[in-house]
Chains A and B, each alone.
Chain A
C-alpha cells in the first residue's frame, strides 16, 4: 500500500505531465498534485469561507470535481488556474449555503468601496496654498529586520482575514499565491478593471495594518 507520505520527495514533473499520468489512473500522480496544491487551495477557499474546516471541505470537494473533470481539461490554462477555478465554484456554493444559516451582519458589507487608500488626515488640504494634497505626515521607511518577523507576517494575515471577501479573494490569489492578473480574473470571473480595484483596496488596507504594526500608530 502506498502511504500518504509527506516525506516523499517532490515530484519533478510539471503539472501538465502529472495530470496526464493521473488520467491514466496513476495514484502517485494524484498524491503529487495534492502535495503541490492542496494547501494553496485551502488558503484560497478561505477567501469565501472564514472557517478553516469549511475551507478544507471545499478543497476536498474541488479535488473530486477535478478528478471528475480532468478528461475535459484542455490545457488552455495552467493546471493550477484550472484547479483554483473548480475550487472557487465549490467555495462559493458552500459560502452561499452557509450564508442562509448565519446572521446578516456577518455578510460582506455593502458600499465599503470608496474608502481612500490612505487616511485623508495624512494629507494637506487640496486647497493648501503651497502644497495642495501633499503629505502632511509622509510614510516612514520600515526596518528590514522587523519586516521579516513572524509578528509582522501575523499582522498581514490578520489584515487579510478582516478584508471584505471579494478583496480577500483577489489578494490571496494575486499576492499570496502569485497568480497573474489574467489568471486571477479567470478564476474569479472578474474584469481586469474590477480585479485591479479590489487588489488596490486590499493592498492599501494591508499596508495600513503593517504601518500600524511596525510604527505602533493608532489610526
Chain B
C-alpha cells in the first residue's frame, strides 16, 4: 500500500467524508482532494468498496411479505371505511 501525497487528505479524514462524497455533497475542493487520495491509496479504495458492498447487502433486506392476518384486518378496515363513506349523512 502506498501513502497518499503529504499535505493531502488523510485516510482518517477520508472515511468521515465517504457518505458526503457518495451523495455528491462535497464542495469541489474537498472532492478533488478526496478523489486524489483515492487514486493513490489502496486502503481507502478498499474502504469505499466495502461501503458499496454494505449498501448492497442492506438493500437486500426486503424479503418479508405481508402476513395473511394483517391483510385480512386491512381489508376489513377498508370495507368499513368504504361503507362509512357510502352511507347517506
With contacts A196-B25, A200-B20 taken as known, whether A135 is within 8 angstroms of B74 at the C-beta atoms is no
Q: Is B87 an interface residue (CB 8 A)?
A: no
The contact sample of 26 A-B pairs, CB cut-off 8 A, is A4-B72, A6-B65, A6-B66, A27-B75, A27-B82, A30-B74, A56-B70, A63-B78, A118-B12, A118-B47, A134-B10, A134-B43, A138-B1, A139-B43, A139-B47, A139-B49, A141-B49, A160-B58, A171-B58, A176-B58, A178-B59, A199-B19, A203-B19, A203-B55, A204-B15, A207-B54
- Asked whether A25 lies within 8 Å of B85 as measured between CB atoms, the reply is yes
The reply to whether the CB of B77 lies closer than 8 angstroms to some CB of chain A is yes
Contacts of B89 in A (CB 8 A): none
Mark contacts of B8-39 with chain A using CB atoms, 8 A cut-off: 1 yes-contact digit, 0 otherwise: 00111101101110010100000000000000
Shortest distance in angstroms between A64's beta carbon and chain B's nearest beta carbon?
Answer: 6
B78 and A30 within 8 A (CB)? yes
Query: Chain B: interface residue count, which band?
Result: 35 or more
- Interface residue? A211 (CB, 8 A): yes
Residue pair A60, B3 in contact (C-beta under 8 Å): no
A157 touches B61 (CB 8 A): yes
Binds B, one of A12-20, A91-99, A123-131: A123-131
- A118 with B66: in contact, given A196-B20, A196-B25 (CB under 8 Å)? no
Closest A residue, CB atoms, query B69: A56
